[in-house]
Structure 1
Amino acid sequence: MATTQSTELHRTSVHVDQLVPNGARADLALDAEMINSVRANGVRVVMAVRPLSPEEQADIEAQRAREQEKGSNSPAPSHRPLYKILMGDRRHGAAKAAGQTMVPVVVVADSARAKGEDYIEALVENDERFRRPLSNVDQALALFQAHDSGIEVQQLAQLTVRDEEEVQQAVAAGGRLGAGTRGKLTQQCQRQVSMDELLAFAEFEGDEEAIDRLLRAHRMMNFRAVVYQEREKRARAVQRQEIEKAGIRLVENPADLPKGAALIEDLYDEAELQLDPDDHEKCPGHAVIWDEGSDRSDAVVSVCLDPEGNGHHRESSVPDDGADAGGDGTPPLARPVLEEPTGLPHAVVVAGNRVWRAATKQRQDWLKEFCAGKTAPKELRSWVSTQWLACPKPVAQWTGDDGRAKLVAEILGRTSQQVQAPERGGWLGPKPSASRLTLCDFAVIAGCFEKRIEVVQTWRTDEPVWDLPAIRRDARAYLKALVSFGYEPTPVERAVIEDEEFDPDVDVDNATETADDA
């Protein structure tokens, strides 16, 4: 049924057998995704066609009759008018493969065309120099606008033959990304931005400095780690606001603490009862500092700025006979908050810890993807067996304890509720393949190593904790193995692998200079 009509153009719907391909493509390159999309939605983009002349139609009908006699599946001759496809050979092929019978077309009158123009149009339409696929930025905006118009995510996924999670990410990103950020993504990204990366950019919409850092990280293939770093900065900023709102003093740098300040966990009152951090908030000397040894960037620990002046002391310093430590009846002072033994600047410690935590999260994300694969690299089986036989300290510590079991569960895509021994036995699934068995074994060993090197100071070459050299040796061997299996280490992990000092201040900038020089 025609919807528009003029002397040279009119739109209508025709049967697929009324169309004759232009033949510009020897291979239509139809894939399941395109065929399924047409099967679900029909042909949505109209095809341009022209009517065949009586002589051309007679030739095509004769050719189809001969092919029918040979038993081919060529359309049977009919008395319906035939049309030559000008633009849309692939859509026509997909419609036939999907079982569609009618397709939309625009009929172009011969009077509007020059002789031989069919072939030029087919060439120009399919020339890659003149065709650009929609970027994920464009697709995300289109999906958001469709959703905003009332189409549900599930229906969008069906109509576009996409995974629901991908559509959900696209809708969320498309709705939050501003025009300025979309422009930067289009102009500055040298490779396609995935939907989950778009969602990460959208997370920081409005923070131009963070967006610029993410753009640079995307160019340097260090995107995921920098996303985690930005999230940590934001989490700490939120925690800082909460602390200020509660009226609690926050000392950003332990070097600014007064002499004698001590951790609440080390302090006791006159009745020899350990102080409670919540109860201590009433003390005039109460404050908090960032817990740089934690695996969380927003973790804090409570301190007392003046233990002696507020009647606190350290129980372990009181002699067993009850005599006072100083001989003058005064309780001993609690131990002061430890300073960096090497004098490493606090800002460097904060930045380095943040980078290491981000690298850990990125690495564990990679492990999940790696262990979700169907095929294990050939060299993996040998490495796994070697680890069981050599039994280095991280492997020797595997006892199925909750901490390591939870890490293994996460790597294998299981929930934290499935870490007890009976549930762990079902992680393999029914009739696991040899590759599945290898990957499961590898996940157990990886979980052991991850637990071993979760110490946030692992990046440091000084010795803020007594066994750090041994931890770094284990980290070096483990990270080298991951690289051999295809993992791309972050700059801080490369420093550990090469046993070099790492300067967190040049984490991304230094990588950028290296790439530019190359």
Structure 2
Amino acid sequence: MTSTTNTENTTTREGTAQVLAEGVEFAHLDPRTLIVGANVRTDADLSGEFIGSIKQHGVIQAIRVRREADGSLTVLEGQRRTLAAIEAGRATIPAQIVTSDDDEKAREARRIIEQLAENDHRADMRDTHRTAAFRQLSLEFGLTAGQIAKRTGTKKDQVAVTLKVAESKVAAAVQAKYDLTIDQAAVLAEFADAPETVKALTAVAVKEPGRFAHEAQRARDDRERAEQVAAAREALAAEGVSEVEAPSYDDKKVRSLSELRPSTEADHGTDLTPEAHAECPGHAAYVRSRWSSVSVVYVCTNWRTHGHGDKYASASPTKSGPMTDEQKAERRTVIENNKAWKSAEVVRREWLAEFAKRKTAPKGAAEYVALAIAADSFILRRAGEKGHALATEWLGAKAETGYYATGQHIAALIAKATPSRAQHIALVLALAAREGETGTHTWRNPGHERGYLTALESWGYTLSDVEQIARGEQDKAERPSK
């Protein structure tokens, strides 16, 4: 090392050291020669990204080591950097070397205290900082997402999401103000042109972050339905068809063509198609948006005046009268909860797909699988007859084709798995079989899926409101299906 003003050079067995006039010594040391003692962090948590960063950039911030009486060097601060440097194959890392006249017990106590102070007062890099940094690298320095990923040790898809947030003034501003995660801010970027949605989602992210995924999916589903409704209305306008409001339950004049026959003389059950009705003065339509679909319903605005007949008059009873307020409220609840269930299903299955990737089964897995085998074997058999479709998808196995499903691809995964992973695969099979039985009927039978939903919640899944209705309030310590 070249000497500089107010310094002197010394040679250690690990490399060349520089000693400042004040007595502080710095050196580039081989990390494999250092003694890494007990640390306040019980787990070094060496992620692939961290090791990759060390491999590419080296250790940027010098570690601190103590020179022992026998000349060996003990790491005081920088355990993770030292271990990551070894994993990354770095030849040397920068270090500050200190000496101490304290006895060994006092030195070790002071080392632990200093580690606590260092970790307690360290501020983690927040996602807002990362967004700003990636934006600078992209806009000011012209780096691509791939280049940023490589040079920062970040996954490319995560860089892409971060840049998407950075490009959205709304998402970036809200993220900075409320310190949202990258994933939360990315959702806000999707709805940058919908201020009320952004406001509502931000409130959930701040107050109830566990519910954010559910509310985000609800917003996506609502937006998709709104787009489908707009497209249907545009199509009606292009056809020159008048759009009317959906008739009330007791409307005497407006009737769907599906309930009419061309004339009173036509045979009962004769269809009246939109094409055949197009020239009728009462030809119109309305757009119907339900939880499962958006459709166009063609009607006649005054079917009796225009000579049409009731399609099933001889077989259908007369309507009993208008719906009561209670019936209307009940119907609205059914519609809203059906929509909520479909949104929750998307979030729940995405969570289960990630859950299926775990290498070890969670606490309570063995009991769940045992109960599923004992009490719900018919559900497992039914899932098996369908090739364990959901489990196959979540586990990343090859889907089976043909009339008879053998489960051979999942069996191949089990054959290669560790015992812990094999147990988790068994749990995934049980969960997927139960998930395949769920639907909008589930929330209407509170408690029927109590064990299943309670188990998911205990393993980290956040239940939406409608899923909490489905779980019910009864005793939770029962069979998976009950």
The residue identity in structure 1 corresponding to 2:271 is: Q
Change (3 A) 1:290 1:413: farther
Distance 2:383 2:50 in 1: 50
1:362-401 pair list within 5 angstroms: 362-376=347-361, 377-389=365-377, 391=378, 400=385
> Do the aligned residues in 1 keep the contact of 2:260 with 2:272 (CA within 8 Å)?
yes
Structure with the bigger RCO (C-alpha within 8 Å, sep 6+) is 1
Cα displacement (A) at 1:169 = 2.4
Counterpart among 407, 422, 440 of residue 454 in structure 1: 440
Match of 1:356 in 2: 341
Change (3 A) 1:290 1:406: farther
Match of 2:122 in 1: 131
Distance 2:276 2:411 in 1: 50
When normalised by structure 1's length, the TM-score is 0.62
Cα displacement (A) at 1:145 = 3.8
Q: Does 1:41 align with 2:27?
A: no
Larger mean Cα displacement after TM superposition, 197-206 or 305-314: 305-314
Q: Which runs of 5+ in 2 are unaligned?
A: 8-12, 17-26, 97-109, 475-482
Match of 1:490 in 2: 464
Counterpart among 412, 436, 440 of residue 430 in structure 1: 412
Cα displacement (A) at 1:447 = 3.7
Change (3 A) 1:93 1:245: same
1:107-118 pair list within 5 angstroms: none
Deviations 1:267-322 (A, max 9, x none): 44457653456776776433234343x434xx234141434455554544468xxx
Deviations 1:4-55 (A, max 9, x none): x99799xxxxx98331789999649472536622453122746599xxxxxx
Cα displacement (A) at 1:225 = 0.9
Distance 2:15 2:276 in 1: 83
The residue identity in structure 1 corresponding to 2:185 is: L
Distance 2:473 2:120 in 1: 48
Cα displacement (A) at 1:436 = 5.1
1:161-172 pair list within 5 angstroms: 161-172=153-164
> Do the aligned residues in 2 keep the contact of 1:254 with 1:289 (CA within 8 Å)?
no
The residue identity in structure 2 corresponding to 1:295 is: S
Q: Does 1:304 align with 2:290?
A: no
1:139-178 pair list within 5 angstroms: 139-148=130-139, 149-176=141-168, 178=170
Cα displacement (A) at 1:198 = 3.0
> Do the aligned residues in 2 keep the contact of 1:308 with 1:333 (CA within 8 Å)?
no
> Do the aligned residues in 2 keep the contact of 1:406 with 1:419 (CA within 8 Å)?
no
The alignment covers a number of residue pairs equal to: 416
When normalised by structure 2's length, the TM-score is 0.66
Distance 1:26 1:206 in 2: 53
Change (3 A) 1:425 1:382: closer
Deviations 1:204-243 (A, max 9, x none): 2243322232233233221111011111222233233323
Task: Name the SS of the counterpart of 1:343 in structure 2.
Answer: helix
The residue identity in structure 1 corresponding to 2:203 is: R
Task: Name the SS of the counterpart of 1:222 in structure 2.
Answer: helix
Match of 2:226 in 1: 237
Deviations 1:412-441 (A, max 9, x none): 5568x7565467734405151542552353
Distance 1:494 1:139 in 2: 36
Match of 2:183 in 1: 196
> Do the aligned residues in 2 keep the contact of 1:181 with 1:205 (CA within 8 Å)?
no
Taking only aligned residues, the RMSD between alpha carbons, in angstroms, comes to 5.1
Distance 1:496 1:373 in 2: 27
> Do the aligned residues in 1 keep the contact of 2:232 with 2:296 (CA within 8 Å)?
no
Match of 1:323 in 2: none
Larger mean Cα displacement after TM superposition, 236-245 or 39-48: 39-48
> Do the aligned residues in 2 keep the contact of 1:411 with 1:443 (CA within 8 Å)?
no
Change (3 A) 1:442 1:347: same
Distance 2:391 2:321 in 1: 35
Distance 1:384 1:278 in 2: 54
1:268-347 pair list within 5 angstroms: 268-269=261-262, 274-276=271-273, 284-292=282-290, 294-296=291-293, 299-306=294-301, 307-309=303-305, 312-317=308-313, 342-344=327-329
> Do the aligned residues in 2 keep the contact of 1:42 with 1:100 (CA within 8 Å)?
no
Task: Name the SS of the counterpart of 2:285 in structure 1.
Answer: strand
Distance 1:316 1:268 in 2: 8
Task: Name the SS of the counterpart of 2:165 in structure 1.
Answer: helix
What fraction of aligned residue pairs are identical, expressed as a percent? 20
Counterpart among 211, 219, 228 of residue 222 in structure 1: 211
